[in-house]
Homo-oligomer: A and B are copies of this chain.
Amino acid sequence: MFRHVVLFTWAEDATDEQKAAVAAGLGRLPDAIPEIRAYALGSDAGVNPGNHEFALVADFDSVDDYLVYRDHPVHQAVIAEHVKPILAARAAVQFTV
């Protein structure tokens, strides 16, 4: 299995509505991109200081299936319309499980 992990920190002036639009937009991707095998996302629970604010963990059968997801126009539209306008910092890893 091939796992994609990405963490976001939002801009200080990002609104709750903008943050919710990211979660809603990403949350629709499993219906649009059949290569997605598992998909979990959520906002940081606030247990530890210094964390990023949002996490997404997505599983695929292969690197190629991940690349279909990464480059899928519906995914790219969510990034352009909802993520990038409020993005302050991003951290990611893709690894074989």
Contact = CB atoms under 8 A, between A and B. Distances in A.
Interface of A: 2-3, 5, 7, 40-45, 47-48, 50-55, 57, 63, 66-67, 70, 91-97
B45 A96 contact: yes
Nearest to A91: B91
Contact of A66 (B2, B43, B47, B54): B47
Give the oligomeric copy count.
2
8 contacts: A5-B5, A7-B91, A40-B97, A44-B94, A44-B95, A48-B92, A52-B91, A52-B93
A67 B47 contact: yes
A52 B92 contact: yes
